[in-house]
Every structure is written in C-alpha cells, then in structure tokens.
Amino acid sequence: MKLLSVILPAYNEEKMIEKARDTLGRILSEQDIPYEIVFVDDGSKDQTWSEIEKAAEKDNHVAGVHFSRNFGKESAMMAGLASAGGDCCVVMDCDLQHPPETVVEMYRLWEQGYEVVEGVKHSRGKESLAHRASAGMFYKIISKAVGIDMSRASDFKLLDRKAVDALLEMPERNAFFRALSAWIGYKTTSVEFDVREREEGVSKWSTKSLIRYAITNIVSFSSAPMQLVTGAGVFMFLLAVVLGIQTLVHYFTGNAVEGFTTVILLLLLIGSILMISLGIIGYYISKIYEEVKGRPRYLISRKIDSQVKEQRNR
C-alpha cells in the first residue's frame, strides 16, 4: 500500500492540533488510506509543541518537527516535505480551512496517475474588498512570471514523491511554494474546494505581513519590477527628446531664459524616478545577498518521526 503524508504547518495553533489529527485520522482510516500526519511547529509561542507531543504519544501516525523560532509558513512546508516519508504528500493548513475530505479526492486522483494535484479555491471565503483587489493584482504578476494562471491557487496540494524531491532539490532560500509547485510541471490536475471559516484561533496575517509576503514572492519569481525601471528610463528618454527639441528651438529663436518651471518639474520627476529605481534594484541585490549567504531555510530544534514511517523504512 502507498503511504500518504499529510503536512500541516502550525503556528500558535494549540487548539487545532488535536482537532486536525482526529478529523484527518477519522476520514483517512475510513477510506483505508495508509497515512502519517506531519505537524510542523513553526516556533509557536503557545502550547502547540506539547500538543503535538501528546498527539504523537497516543497516535502512531503522528510526526512532528519543531523549529528553533518562527521561520514562516513557506519554510514550515518545506521542512514538512523534507521529513515526510510518504509516496505522496499533501500540504494543507492546520486550521482545517482546507477541507480534509478533499484530501481523499486528491489521493484518488494520484492513484490514477496524476503527480501533482492542485487545490483550487472555488470561493475565497470572507475577505474585504481591498484585500481581494490587492490579492488579484499580486496573482496577476505571479501568473505572468510562472506562465500559469494562479489567480485561484492555494498552498493546498498533493505532490508525488518525484515532485517533492524536485522541490527539495531547489537551492533557493526564498522559495515560493505555490508558484514553484506549478513551475516544476509534472502531470497535473486540480480539484476545487471551498475555503472554510477558521474554527479556532486567529489568522496569522496582518496587512503588513501580507504586503511583505507579496513583495518578497514577486521578487523571488519575477524580474518585472526591474523591467519597470527600464520602462521608466525609455519614457524619460522620449520626454527628453521632445523637450530637447523645444529647448533648442527656443535657443535659436532667441528666447531661451523661459522654462524655469519645466526645469524644476523635470528635476523633481527624474530625482524621484531615480530613487525608486535604485530602491527596486537594491531590493533585488539584498535578496541576492540573502541567497549568497546560503543560510539554512529553517533550524529544527526537536523532531518526532511517525511510527508508520519507521515501520516502512525497516
């Protein structure tokens, strides 16, 4: 039988660990799917880790990874994939906003030979208008960079062992899981799901962290902002030609003193465009610097392997 690893990144989710274990365990054993559940505690400040330890004690399907501090969901997902022993892995949110029943659907598709099964949001759940609009813009840029429509993409997906190994081999520190799993290709299909309401706890995302997330991931996947700099340069050059001709005409017709306003406006415009451009380029350089340092994506302080995985390895 083929083992399924379900990976659940968890940050301050003490109330959801037992619920997630119970719900997933019930659904998967009903369907006779051999499974392990890998909780990745992303440096939580509450009782998440001791909840995971408790769950592992009473259920031999449970595995756990504990980070030395909060490294973010992207790192947590990667750590989960790295320690999973399954023939296929499903990544989903620990708060059960991704419906566990869909995991079964994904597994069945995998049995039919699909290597990547993307969870696609049928509805995005409750969101404000501003949130929806900025998310829309973000996905437009990312879709363009990856070359695949990502507007309804999520982190909820099943990956075959081959795809998992391909992802783990990527050297980049700034891995954007959602786009990378589309980028690697493989035989892909998708299932639709409705985003559920969170049962316990609160969302870990603030507007600020969402903006940072968007910028980091755009930069890690696309050089479009740099091309924007080139675009601005070309635009300014065209403007320069027009104004240059006008200035020369003024000069030769003998009324060259005028146009002070134009000079001030041009100075202000060029100055700000230059500074923005430097900022964009600087941001890319700082990201290159981060990559070059080659620090690990995460540090693990404690780890529990599931007995299911150990039995299989024996």
73 scored as a contact of ligand UDP (CB under 6 A): yes
The sign one gets for the Cα dihedral 77, 78, 83, 85 is positive
Distance CA 17, CA 221 (A): 33
User: Where do runs of H (alpha helix) occur along 223-293?
Assistant: 224-252, 260-293
Pairing, β 4-10 against β 188-194: unpaired
For the window 84-123, what string marks contact with Mg ion as x by the rule CB under 5 A? ---------x-x-x--------------------------
Stretch that binds ligand UDP, among 53-61, 203-211, 220-228, 232-240 (CB under 6 A): 203-211
Q: How far is CA 266 from CA 227, 239, 269, in A?
A: 22, 10, 5
99 scored as a contact of ligand UDP (CB under 6 A): no
**Applying CB under 6 A, which of residues 136, 205, 211, 238 lies at the interface with ligand UDP?**
205
DSSP state of 241: H
* Tokens 């998440």, located at residue: 48
Concatenate the DSSP letters of all residues of 136-169 into one string: HHHHHHHHHHHTS--TTEEEEEEEEHHHHHHHHH
Q: Smaller CB distance to ligand UDP: residue 76 or 180?
A: 76
51 scored as a contact of ligand UDP (CB under 6 A): no
User: Largest Cα–Cα distance of the chain, in whole Å?
Assistant: 93
**Applying CB under 6 A, which of residues 4, 6, 10, 90 lies at the interface with ligand UDP?**
10
Query: Of these partners, ligand UDP, Mg ion, none, which one is at the site of residue 235 (CB under 5 to 8 Å by kind)?
Result: none
Stretch that binds ligand UDP, among 53-61, 70-78, 114-122, 231-239 (CB under 6 A): 70-78
**Applying CB under 6 A, which of residues 79, 94, 153, 219 lies at the interface with ligand UDP?**
94
Footprint on this chain of Mg ion (rule: CB under 5 A)? 93, 95, 97
Footprint on this chain of ligand UDP (rule: CB under 6 A)? 9-11, 13, 42, 70, 72-73, 76, 93-95, 97, 203-205
